[in-house]
Copies of this chain bind each other. A is one copy, B any other.
């Protein structure tokens, strides 16, 4: 464990990756402008957000009551965070002007004591902090704080940051271990991560202590949420649910939580915050709890796409190895939260298992949440879809066959925007003596510094369609440090050269550590073999037994009706393992398409018969086409299947 490891800021990275660059440009040119319209209730036909209206009303700039859900402030927080990241790599005076004006409005709503939450400002400040469990008060603070930090880091403008620090200080005065303070914590976590990030800037120990307090207090007896319900007459909605207070990860103190339970987004946000605090405070028992929860999530409750949260009821984890493909919730935000958690584990422990999961989620269950044109979004990310079932089977109503416009409860779209806009900060973490650990093979230009010497790094790659990555180092002057490369868990063979000389170092916990005195023009070249991989799941996963899923590199593939016709359930892979891989620039914005000989069950069957004596299953050869899972449902509604019969 090394407390000095840390990720980098988006501002240190200019992404020019053919794959991710397109997503980042989409966020900049489509998602952020669209969301600004949405936050201002200017999308025709869409349910209004009321987010900017609420701030104006709270600031006294407009008359009217609070409108919309209690958590709408957070949408603006995610928006300004994404704006900050974008401005870090692309100057945009017009966008910055809009953001500054929005910040003026938000700050104008701040109360004299620092409080800033439109719901309670507009419904009665006397009731603030009376429903931490369900009213997302500290959640909204967390998101706006993250936004304030991102905007400050990108622009140097600290108006919003200062306002939020005042708000944090007010919270700190009211929450904590002192007997006269409230012993509460948020019903929806996120503020923990935000406070740790704030501490990076302020170095004010109160900010770290507050994050630590929210984590340590959680789940302690007597239970704060229970007492809060009794004291303020709040309703506990999960009384009849087997999860109960686990819904909020609040049934037990965090170190006693062995299984990831409850609302999946909240869970991974908490775990990410725990990992942050564990690193900052060098707390081995808290880190051990993170590891155990990591295992619960990734070794027993994660889909092959990196999606998590199997149950639509409570958008929650269900139980070990329960991974239904067709009734899954698998919220986009939960996969995003898993990326947050993964990077924070890497900041504690260099071990490629964390980066493998981060990569798995990024290339699959995260970006499946957005259409290729950046205009529509999935909350739910199924691995098996039958449109008729989505229309007629109530237990699959949440499984949409087409991405939705950004309406109503809009958590996932802005969350995607802030993650994608900051993707540079997930590529590397640092270790001792300027060591650089490369986790995600993202093309672009990156600046690092060792012993006050700036090192420019250029990464060229066509990843994930091609396994070749070329890294050119340009230090001001020769400098010794370790450049470490992750060998992905999916990769069975690779070649690695430095300045065209083959390197024989073996990986340590998944990383090849190249310790050199690096000089300008040194080139690291790695080529990961990317054959099609046929995957199986642990046989405890009932839903996947006797089935396989294809992947290539980090990308999980699926069959779609658009390529393979309907009745995908009749198709099976058979014995063939000879696949053709072709990059098709015109298909789905450019993807490597996999084709191969599979088989299809002969489904001839006597009329008027539902059951009969079993006869052999007769198969005919069938050409199968697979496309990347993340790109499914971009060609109209239809069947889709990740796990196909062997």
Report which A residues bind B (CB closer than 8 A).
241-242, 295, 298-300, 302, 304, 311-314, 318-319, 322, 327, 353, 386, 388-389, 391-395, 492, 533-542, 545-546, 548-549, 567, 569-570, 601, 603, 605, 608-615, 617, 645-646
Contact = CB atoms under 8 A, between A and B. Distances in A.
A1 to B, nearest CB: 19
B614 A535 contact: yes
A494 to B, nearest CB: 16
A359 B389 CA distance: 30
Nearest to A540: B603
A611 B318 contact: no
Contacts of A395: 311-313, 327, 395
Nearest to A549: B611
17 contacts: A242-B391, A299-B609, A311-B393, A311-B395, A318-B392, A322-B388, A535-B613, A535-B614, A536-B613, A536-B615, A537-B611, A538-B611, A539-B601, A539-B603, A545-B569, A614-B646, A617-B646
B617 A538 contact: no
A492 to B, nearest CB: 8
Given A535-B612, A546-B617, 19 more contacts: A299-B608, A299-B610, A302-B610, A304-B611, A311-B395, A314-B394, A322-B393, A395-B395, A492-B613, A536-B612, A536-B614, A538-B605, A538-B609, A538-B610, A539-B601, A545-B569, A545-B570, A548-B614, A617-B646
Contacts of A567: 540
A395 B319 CA distance: 13
A539 B318 CA distance: 30
Contact of A542 (B318, B392, B534, B569): B569
Nearest to A316: B394
The 5 closest A-B pairs by CB, nearest first: A313-B394, A536-B614, A539-B603, A534-B614, A319-B392
A327 B609 CA distance: 23
A394 B540 CA distance: 20
Contacts of A318: 392-393
State the number of copies, please.
Answer: 2
A541 B614 contact: no
B388 A319 contact: yes
A644 to B, nearest CB: 11
Contacts of A605: 538-540
A393 B313 CA distance: 8
A605 B533 CA distance: 18
B614 A545 contact: no
A320 B549 CA distance: 27
A610 B603 CA distance: 33
Contacts of A300: 610
A233 to B, nearest CB: 27
Contacts of A241: 394
A311 B610 contact: no
A539 B570 contact: yes
B295 A608 contact: yes
A313 B542 CA distance: 24
Contacts of A314: 394
A570 B545 CA distance: 8
Contacts of A492: 613
A601 B542 CA distance: 12
